[in-house]
């Protein structure tokens, strides 16, 4: 009986320690982590890079989320299908398109690399079906979302040899193209490898 009591005490202490550690490493969201509620994804949030159980998108830095009392996290954004605010009308599609066109013009990709903006219907936005997961960036591993800007087949973007894509999206803080190939920013003599096969390029 005494052994069971000690075991239960150790288990309780371990649980309390882990809860305290989680709260301490993400102080901005400490209340929501402990009692549930709205939170915002930070670099130290335990759900960062995990997948939402509702929409299957990964949690990105800055994502607004809702934490349930049992610790389950889901997105809380009108831009994603799992939002509770589905009644809100996003509208202004023409203005949004003009904004993205202006952003692309102001921050052109290096070497005239073609950038694709993911609109509704693009195959990279296909929902998870038959056990398959959503498409993800080959560099940051985040799922692709509507209006993300990407490079298809970064090894051969002008004549794509595959359908793998990487982000080149300054608006969303996803500068994966240059992270994969520092030479695009003038840092030459850097070996470049295919992000999928790891084959060395330009030999």
pLDDT of residue 65: 96
Cα–Cα distance for residue pair 152/65, rounded to 1 Å: 30
What stretch of H or E contains 165?
strand 165-167
Q: Mark whether 47 and 119 lie in a shared domain.
A: no
Asked whether residue 203 is domain-assigned, the answer is: no
CB 32 within 8 A of CB 17: no
The answer to whether residues 63 and 102 belong to one domain is: no
Q: Are residues 43 and 107 in the same domain?
A: no
Backbone CA torsion sign across 143, 147, 149, 150: positive
> Are the C-beta atoms of 155 and 180 separated by less than 8 Å?
no
- State residue 57's pLDDT score: 96
pLDDT reported for residue 22: 64
Whole-prediction pTM:
0.78
Which residue range(s) make up the domain with 145? 93-185
> Using an 8 Å Cβ cutoff, are 69 and 36 in contact?
yes
H-type alpha helices, the chain: 2-25, 30-35, 93-106, 176-180
Cβ atoms of 86 and 121 closer than 8 Å? no
- The answer as to whether 12 is a domain residue is yes
Q: Considering the domain boundaries, does residue 33 fall inside one?
A: yes
Whether the Cβ atoms of residue 155 and residue 144 lie closer than 8 Å to each other:
no
In a shared domain, residues 100 and 71: no
Instruction: Say yes or no: 51 and 6 in one domain.
Output: yes
Same domain, 70 and 109: no
* Token reading at 109: 């990709």
Is residue 108 in some structural domain? yes
Three-class DSSP category at 152:
strand
What does the pLDDT profile of the chain (203 residues) look like in tens digits? 555 666 666 666 666 666 666 666 788 998 888 889 999 999 999 999 999 999 999 999 999 999 998 889 999 988 887 766 554 545 555 676 677 677 767 777 777 789 999 999 999 999 888 778 999 999 999 999 998 999 999 888 889 999 999 999 988 889 899 888 877 665 556 667 888 888 887 65
Number of domains in the chain: 2
Do both 26 and 106 map to the same domain? Answer: no
């Amino acid at each position: 009986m005494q052994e069971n009591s000690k075991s239960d005490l150790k288990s309780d202490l371990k649980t309390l320690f882990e809860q305290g550690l989680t709260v301490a490493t993400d102080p901005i969201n400490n209340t929501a982590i402990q009692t549930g509620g709205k939170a915002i994804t930070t670099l130290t949030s335990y759900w960062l890079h995990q997948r939402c159980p509702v929409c299957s998108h990964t949690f990105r830095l800055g994502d607004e989320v809702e934490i349930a009392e049992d610790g389950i996290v889901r997105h809380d954004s009108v831009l994603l299908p799992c939002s509770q605010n589905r009644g809100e009308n996003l509208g202004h599609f023409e203005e949004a398109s003009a904004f993205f066109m202006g952003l692309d013009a102001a921050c052109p990709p290096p070497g005239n690399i073609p950038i694709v903006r993911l609109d509704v219907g693009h195959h990279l936005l296909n929902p998870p079906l038959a056990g398959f997961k959503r498409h993800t960036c080959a560099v940051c591993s985040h799922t692709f979302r509507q209006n993300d800007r990407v490079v298809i087949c970064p090894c051969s973007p002008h004549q794509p040899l595959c359908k793998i894509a990487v982000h080149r999206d300054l608006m969303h803080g996803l500068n994966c193209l240059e992270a994969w190939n520092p030479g695009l920013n003038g840092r030459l003599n850097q070996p470049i490898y295919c992000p999928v096969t790891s084959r060395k390029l330009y030999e």
